[in-house]
Structure 1
Amino acid sequence: MSAETPSAPAVVTAIHLAPGTRLPTKPVQQVEAEAGRGLVGDRYHGTRHRHVTVQAQPDLDAAAADLGAPVPAGSTRRNVTISVGPVPTRPGTRVRVGDTLLEVVRLAAPCRLMDDHIGPGAMRALHARGGAVFRILESGTIRLGDAVEVLDTDG
């Protein structure tokens, strides 16, 4: 998720919420992001650090090419999909999504459930393409089409 590419800035292309463990994700047009709490309506709302997960569409496309089958954004169980990458994974990196401020907590590694949700080999195809887990530092609304900007960090 570079701040911008010569062709187009990164934007939010999909938002998915999982209302509960193992329940299917639901696509939404927008979601309220609460600082220190998470995305309203998502199963991780209220957890300490896993507030929102972000992935990049080019990573899904590359995984689909390796897998030989589509990798729909909602099937990965990530919350936000952006148009260009890479998604920053260095802890402490801050990202502005619309009027919401996020901070990287850690890399989001795909789990074995990907093979169940997408198909055999999906976990392997998504390796190093799973995006990142963020905490929400400033509340706001994340909407489809919102600009995504990696902010300068000290160190």
Structure 2
Amino acid sequence: MPEIVQLLASPLHRYLGRPADGPAPAAPDEIVEEVRIRAGLGIVGDRYFGRPAHRDASVTLIARESLPPGADLVQARRNILTAGLAVDELVGSVLVLDAGQGPVRLRVNRAAHPCAWMDATIGPGAWKALRRRGGVRCTPLTDGTLRVGPVEVTIAD
């Protein structure tokens, strides 16, 4: 069964300036057990919540299978880390996730392309290794809550 492995809701932009300078320190509570999602706005408490420029990309997902061992959302800067779900193949679909609190519908708009920061945060070569495997950017279509743990998945076109 697919699962949500990790969730990130960070109020901070950590990747400022040049990758060679390193990221800003992480917020202490950005890795959470549960997130509240609002339709058209994103994840409550996240740095992109309600920002017009990010409404079509306010929720990001990446598959654990895409990351090297030991890497997580703190380095990848996506919101939802899944296992057993090939998220990169879902562009153009509506992804419905139910982690026990009712379904959350996400329109999968486009790929979340990796950047040079990946070499600085995950390790040398990560930027290249994550091409076509960097996750997806989504618009939330419904309000709801997602939690770490098993998740029921439905894919709609």
Q: TM-score, normalised by structure 1?
A: 0.80
| Identical amino acids, percent of aligned pairs | 33
| Counterpart check, 1:21 vs 2:25 | no
Cα offset for 1:34? 0.4
Instruction: Determine which of 105, 115, 122 is the counterpart of 2:119.
Output: 115
Partner of 1:12: 4
Task: Could you tell me which runs of 5 or more consecutive residues in structure 2 were left unpaired when the two chains were aligned.
Answer: 15-23
The aligned counterpart of 2:135 is: 131
Counterpart-to-counterpart distance in 2, 1:146 and 1:96:
13
Contact 1:95 1:148 in 2 (8 A): no
Paired letter, 2:58: H
Regions of 4+ moved over 3 Å: 88-92
- TM-score of the superposed pair, with normalisation by structure 2: 0.80
What CA distance in whole angstroms lies between the structure 2 residues aligned with 1:100 and 1:139? Answer: 7
Structure 1: gaps (5+ residues): 1-8
Query: Over the residues paired in the alignment, what is the CA RMSD in angstroms?
Result: 1.8
- Amino acid across the alignment from 1:85: L
Q: Bigger CA drift: 136-145 or 21-30?
A: 21-30
Shift of 1:88: 4.4
Q: Say if 2:59 and 2:138, in contact at 8 Å, map to a contact too.
A: yes
State how far apart, in whole Å, the 2-side matches of 1:104 and 1:74 are: 22
Residue in structure 2 matched with residue 78 of structure 1 by the alignment: 78
The size of the alignment, in residue pairs, is: 138
